[in-house]
Amino acid sequence: MRDGFGREITYLRMSVTELCNLRCRYCMPAEGVCKRRHEEMLTQEEMLRAVGVAATLGMHKLRITGGEPLVKKNILAICEGAAMTPGIEEICLTTNGALLPRLAKPLKAAGVNRLNISLDTLDADRYAWMTRVGSLDDALKGIEAALEAGFARVKINAVLIGGFNDDEIRPLARLSERWPVDVRFIELMPMAEVAAFGPEAFIPCGRVVEALPELEPIAESDGVARLYRLPGGQGSIGLISPLSAHFCGRCNRLRLTADGRVKPCLHSPREYPLKGLDAEGMRRQFLAACTAKPERHPLLSYESRSGANRSMNRIGG
């Protein structure tokens, strides 16, 4: 399936819940989200129908996200069903890691191929402050559980935030020496909840290269990240720069929210509902969303906010 700008759409990011066990300040309101009525959200059957339709349209890679996907009671059944869907070649899951000690092995058994674990700081007090309710120890135990369960090429995602963790670039990057993990630094995006952050919070990923002059560029690319390696590192260091060097030209994805909206672009309010539809209806909505993919989103900055009409936990990051 190609969009109007010739980009082949091969990647579906599906959010399975808006709920989360953390309350990260850049993602969610302090009070969490109002639990929506059951009837408003996609059922497991609808999620799997949508995955099946997406696969027939050429979306062979699936990312399961949220909110926190591991708080979803039937997460293992969803992963299992997705893994058995003809045409789905790879299933990745993005998590804050806190529930991985219990779930890493079952997720592997359910057919999840890869995990991304979010970790913005290695300082316990900062972690507790940013997540409002989380514990650094739980996140670190989650990474260890993922590695023990046999997940290969685990990615650690760190959102780079000026005045919060820009002095931790080296220790975060060195996780790729301690463990066989890839570390990704991601620029903070000006979404709804980020309104409370000042302009100093928005720093370009170029800071990582300044802080780590020994980084060696790697020719291979994984789509949206510029890749490097620390000499002696087991995994790579990636820079994802939605603000300073956006990657719309290579965008290959559609998003499906937990309440059943297909989003052509993370930063656009356009949505194509497929709740309650049969496979043919869903197919039409995916095609409409693909056709509506904009060439690029407007440049984002502290002054120029994302056009998304939802906070990140309600889109699926």
Residues forming the site for ligand SF4 (CB under 6 A): 20, 22-24, 27-28, 66-68, 96, 118, 312-313
Q: List, edge to edge, every strand of the sheet that includes 114-118.
A: 216-217, 226-229, 236-240, 181-187, 154-160, 114-118, 90-95, 61-65, 11-15, 253-256, 261-263, 272-273
113 counts as binding ligand SAM under rule CB under 6 A: no
CB of 89 to ligand SF4, least distance (A): 25
- In the chain, the amino acid numbered 264 is P
CB of 283 to ligand SAM, least distance (A): 27
- Using the minimum distance from each CB to ligand SF4, give the nearer residue, 7 or 267: 267
Residue 235's binding partner among ligand SF4, ligand SAM, none (Cβ under 5 to 8 angstroms by kind) is none
Which residues, numbered 223-242, are part of the site for ligand SAM (CB under 6 A)?
none
CB of 306 to ligand SF4, least distance (A): 15
Member of 92, 104, 189, 292 binding ligand SAM (CB under 6 A)? 189
CB of 307 to ligand SF4, least distance (A): 19
Measured CA to CA, the distance from residue 135 to residue 156 in angstroms comes to 16
> How many residues does the structure list for the chain?
317
Member of 94, 113, 131, 285 binding ligand SAM (CB under 6 A)? 94
- Using the minimum distance from each CB to ligand SF4, give the nearer residue, 4 or 29: 29
121 counts as binding ligand SAM under rule CB under 6 A: no
The CA–CA distances, whole Å, from 214 to 144, 170, 173 equal 27, 11, 12
Beta bridge partners of 237: 183, 228
- Using the minimum distance from each CB to ligand SF4, give the nearer residue, 28 or 227: 28
Give 242's DSSP letter: T
- Using the minimum distance from each CB to ligand SAM, give the nearer residue, 1 or 136: 136
HSE-up (13 A, CA, CB side) for residue 52: 15
CA neighbor of 42 nearest in space, from 34, 31, 50: 50
Helices and strands in the chain, H and E counts:
10, 12
CB of 15 to ligand SF4, least distance (A): 9
Beta strands in the chain (DSSP E): 11-15, 61-65, 90-95, 114-118, 154-160, 181-187, 216-217, 226-229, 236-240, 253-256, 261-263, 272-273
* Whether the Cβ atoms of residue 299 and residue 246 lie closer than 8 Å to each other: yes
Measured CA to CA, the distance from residue 228 to residue 289 in angstroms comes to 34
172 counts as binding ligand SAM under rule CB under 6 A: no
Residue 28's binding partner among ligand SAM, ligand SF4, none (Cβ under 5 to 8 angstroms by kind) is ligand SF4
- Using the minimum distance from each CB to ligand SAM, give the nearer residue, 65 or 113: 65
* Range in contact with ligand SAM (rule: CB under 6 A) among 92-100, 168-176, 212-220, 256-264: 92-100
164 counts as binding ligand SAM under rule CB under 6 A: no
Measured CA to CA, the distance from residue 261 to residue 179 in angstroms comes to 37
Size of the site for ligand SAM (CB under 6 A): 20
Rule CB under 6 A: which residues touch ligand SAM? 20, 26-27, 65-66, 68, 94-96, 118, 157, 159, 186, 188-189, 191, 194, 312-313, 317
